[in-house]
Amino acid sequence: MTDGQQTFYERAEQFIRQYLEESPVSATQLGVHRFDDRLSDRSTSGLDRQRRQIGQALAELEKAGSEQLDLDAQIDHRLMVNTLRMMLRGHDVLRTHARNPGEYADECMGGVFLLLVKEFAPLADRLRSVKGRLEATPEVLEQAKQNIVPEEVPPVWAEVAVESVQQGLGLYTGVLPALAGSVPEGDKLSAAAERAAEAMRAYGRYLQETVLPRARGRFAVGEELFDEMLSQDHMVDYTAEELLATGRRLFKETREEMTALAGSIAPGKEVKAMLDEAKGDHPSPEDLLDSYRGEMERARAFVAENDVVTIPAGERLRVEPTPPFLRGIIPYAAYMMPGPMEEAQEGIFLVTAVDPDAPWEQQRAQLRGHHWAKLPITAVHEAYPGHHLQLVYANGVGTLPRKLGGLMSTLFVEGWAFYCEQLMEDLGFLGAPMQRLGRLQDSLWRCARIILDASLHTGEMGVEEAIDFLVDEVGLERESARAEVRRYTSSPTQPMSYQMGKKEIMSLMEEYKGRHPSASLKELHDAVLSCGSLPPRLMRRRLLGTSRKGVHHG
């Protein structure tokens, strides 16, 4: 290793260590547990210090350049520079610390939730860390009140923050007191939870009485900034305008494909009626978790038996019921990845159980979201060979900057899982006609995300109009559509990454097969996954030695 290369990695790792110390909840998520009893310092001096650290690291890395580095180090250098630019944009331009009140509540509650659900240490040890985060909660929420500028808060973000506080209180008032009886000094944990709950209630009142009435900020980042994020974060060459045109074209093509398939399955029957009918075939409430476990195991076995991709050694996936305090925000299911620096590479797939005390119609409505035509698609997308397999593979790859590559862009991570749906259909795992129709329905939804992502953030569409689009054109239930659109407003360029990432990946694979015509499917997939969670442009450079920005999709 040259002196320049060693200096780069030392500086990159120095910043990453600083970042993890300044962002304790992110550290927990990534598998570093030295700061599990802390929350971030959101004071003015703390924010200034964090901004200064980012700025200094960026200036040093840009000045040093990457000429003396080998190919992998050049890729890591580009990852670090672009990630630092993204962080700097967050501080200086997006200013979410002043505009998004939900991020403070999310840190306090999410920081506790991670310690409860990730079994990296005995429960008693994790609860000691929980107590530290509970004790830090009142101060963080006071810092939030000092930082937030109510007039700059978008109304939709204020509404989401209020609901998040209301839904999360059960963590402090129900879950933690119930756990306190099982550990020494549980009374101190209960007392800390009670103080955190009171601070969260006071924060909720502040949001309702001070922020909501004055909130009139814009969530849309605007076309110029949206284009910058596409170029810097995802390293693609298309603009918001071109992205929107692509989304509309793909939406039209997918709907036509759905109509043709439906006609071959049941001539004269509408697609919506067919999908609604399929939802009636679902597991019983008692069998729901085991049904998911069975589909995950079946998908894993298929991947192994058909040499689809190497399954990383030591990986594990747990399917568990969603904790009660999260059921309001996880109506069906969610995957939680193992941290890249976690010793045990164990993913968690949460399934929200049906409330046996709820009226049957309510139970039935929830079960319709877990119907048999959808379960295998979910297993493929979330587990094998989708998110879980890819993320565990990436966690074992290369240097520290490479392990954190997914922080910058979701284009490959989401694109890979979405690509796997079509792959497993082509290979015969998703062979039933209604599974194919269900996959196309999900594809239509991903095409809609492209349209809404660009339209919302360039000001062409408002929140209610976007919700109507998902309900009327895609067929989502209104409450699900509302939750989707609210998420899109705070994550510009992320919603487009599923469909656009899939297109980039398929293009890259075609190029790779052209260079390596004798490569098997497994060798192809292993080559791609061995790069880590890189934006496809950097992955192309790593595999093919070319740095062209990517496929033009206008």
Specify the pLDDT at position 479.
82
| Calpha distance 455→70 (Å, rounded) | 40
User: Partners of 346 in the beta sheet?
Assistant: 316
| 208 lies in the same domain as 238 | no
Output the six-digit token pair for 351.
């399934």
Q: What average pLDDT score do residues 392-402 get?
A: 91
- In a domain, residue 63? The reply is yes
Specify the pLDDT at position 325.
58
| 262 lies in the same domain as 191 | no
Specify the pLDDT at position 57.
96
**Mean pLDDT rounded to a whole number for the chain:** 93
User: Of 450, 477, 499, which closes a domain?
Assistant: 499
| 200 lies in the same domain as 71 | yes
User: Partners of 349 in the beta sheet?
Assistant: 319, 335
- In a domain, residue 507? The reply is no
- In a domain, residue 220? The reply is no
| 320 lies in the same domain as 410 | yes
Specify the pLDDT at position 64.
87
Which residues in 175-214 are b (16+ Cβ under 10 Å) and which e? bbbebbeebeebeebbbbbeebbebbeebbebbeeebbee
Place of tokens 């990457």: 66
Q: pLDDT category, 548, cuts 50, 70, 90?
A: low
List Cβ neighbours of 458 (8 Å cut-off, separation of 6 or more): 220, 222, 223, 226, 240, 244
- In a domain, residue 246? The reply is yes
Q: pLDDT category, 66, cuts 50, 70, 90?
A: confident
| 252 lies in the same domain as 156 | no
| 367 lies in the same domain as 466 | yes
| Calpha distance 83→409 (Å, rounded) | 9
Q: What average pLDDT score do residues 431-447 get?
A: 93
Query: Does residue 553 surpass a pLDDT of 70?
Result: no
User: Of 190, 214, 238, which closes a domain?
Assistant: 214
| 248 lies in the same domain as 174 | no
User: Widest CA span of the chain, in angstroms?
Assistant: 70
Place of tokens 């924060």: 203
CA distances, 76 to each of 72, 80, 340, 416, 542 (Å): 6, 6, 16, 21, 11
- In a domain, residue 360? The reply is yes
Range of the domain at 315: 228-278+285-499
| Calpha distance 183→320 (Å, rounded) | 22
> Are 247 and 447 contacting, i.e. CB atoms less than 8 angstroms apart?
yes
Backbone torsions φ then ψ of 40, nearest 5 degrees: -65, 150
Q: How many domains, the chain?
A: 2
Specify the pLDDT at position 471.
92
β-pairing, 346-351 vs 316-321, is parallel
Q: What average pLDDT score do residues 187-202 get?
A: 96
Place of tokens 């998110």: 387
| Calpha distance 351→291 (Å, rounded) | 11
Q: What percent of the chain has pLDDT over 90?
A: 80
Q: What average pLDDT score do residues 93-105 get?
A: 97
Q: What percent of the chain has pLDDT over 70?
A: 97
Type and span of the H or E element at 348? strand 346-351
Q: What is the pTM of this model?
A: 0.93
**pLDDT per residue over 126-171, tens digit each?**
999 999 999 999 999 999 999 999 999 999 999 999 999 998 898 9
Query: Does residue 390 surpass a pLDDT of 50?
Result: yes
Composition of the chain by helix, strand, coil, percent to 5? 70, 5, 30
Backbone torsions φ then ψ of 128, nearest 5 degrees: -65, -40
**pLDDT per residue over 207-260, tens digit each?**
999 999 999 999 999 999 999 999 999 999 999 999 999 999 999 999 999 999
Specify the pLDDT at position 522.
98
List Cβ neighbours of 470 (8 Å cut-off, separation of 6 or more): 445, 448, 452, 476, 480, 481, 484, 485
Specify the pLDDT at position 552.
37
Specify the pLDDT at position 144.
98
| 272 lies in the same domain as 337 | yes
Query: Does residue 549 surpass a pLDDT of 60?
Result: no
Q: Which of 156, 153, 233 is nearest to 493 (CA)?
A: 233
> Are 334 and 453 contacting, i.e. CB atoms less than 8 angstroms apart?
no
Edge to edge, the sheet with strand 346-351 lists 316-321, 346-351, 333-336
| 183 lies in the same domain as 253 | no
User: Of 449, 467, 499, which closes a domain?
Assistant: 499
| 184 lies in the same domain as 263 | no
| Calpha distance 236→211 (Å, rounded) | 37
Specify the pLDDT at position 249.
98
| 271 lies in the same domain as 380 | yes
For the chain, how many residues are written? Answer: 554
| 299 lies in the same domain as 323 | yes
- In a domain, residue 529? The reply is no
Place of tokens 């194919």: 436
Query: Does residue 68 surpass a pLDDT of 90?
Result: no
| Calpha distance 135→63 (Å, rounded) | 42
Q: What average pLDDT score do residues 435-449 get?
A: 94
- In a domain, residue 515? The reply is no
- In a domain, residue 482? The reply is yes
Q: What average pLDDT score do residues 358-378 get?
A: 87
List Cβ neighbours of 409 (8 Å cut-off, separation of 6 or more): 233, 234, 235, 497, 535
> Are 169 and 198 contacting, i.e. CB atoms less than 8 angstroms apart?
no
* Amino acid present at 399: T
CA distances, 172 to each of 134, 186, 187, 290, 299 (Å): 9, 13, 13, 30, 37
